[in-house]
Amino acid sequence: MIRITPPVDNATIKTLKVGDKVLFSGTIYTARDQAHIKLVQDMNPAFDLQGAVLYYVGPTPTRDGQVIGSCGPTSSYRMDELSVPLMERGVKMMIGKGNRSQNFQKEMIKNNAVYLIATGGTGALLASKVKQRKVLMYEELGPEAIYELEVKDFPCFVAYDVHGNTLFKGGTDV
């Protein structure tokens, strides 16, 4: 088990291997499809992309007494093309679910970034790891806004590493 407190540096990225269990404590940012479109165009985002961790999620409404509603990962492939310019601007880790394109994998390695997966169907468990949240950018997008999450022991697994390895059957050709 590897404990990571963002922001993430290149040395940390190089130590990660496919299958490693990672526990995040600190700040991660949510971003889905619509937020990615806006963030790619935004040259002055409200947070530093350098070393940032993006979590592909659209949280459900918060109930009384909760910090956040259920917040399980969403399918990542929809962000493949939009992830490239964000990695070029410093994003180091992305968390979601599912396989990604070969082009994404090549760009990820080129930009010294890592893709992690959170277990689908565990949105309530993952929500219990969120200690604080606030809407940071694009509030008009509702659940697809960018939220700043303070997490404690948020569990993920390395799905693609910078050495060209993958958890997914068939591997990659990178």
pLDDT over 50 (residue 110): yes
Tell me what the mean pLDDT of segment 9-14 comes to. Answer: 97
- Buried-state track 139-171, b at ≥16 Cβ within 10 A, e below 16: eebeebbbbbbbbeebbbebbbbbeebbbeeee
Of 13, 16, 36, 149, the catalytic one is 36
Distance CA 122, CA 109 (A): 28
- pLDDT higher than 80, residue 2: yes
Query: Fold for domain 2-160?
Result: fumarase (3.20.130)
- Cα dist. 16→41, 89, 163, 173 in Å? 30, 21, 9, 19
The pTM assigned to this predicted structure is 0.94
Query: Does residue 36 carry a catalytic annotation?
Result: yes
* pLDDT grade for 170, boundaries at 50, 70 and 90: low
The chain-wide mean pLDDT, for the chain, equals 94
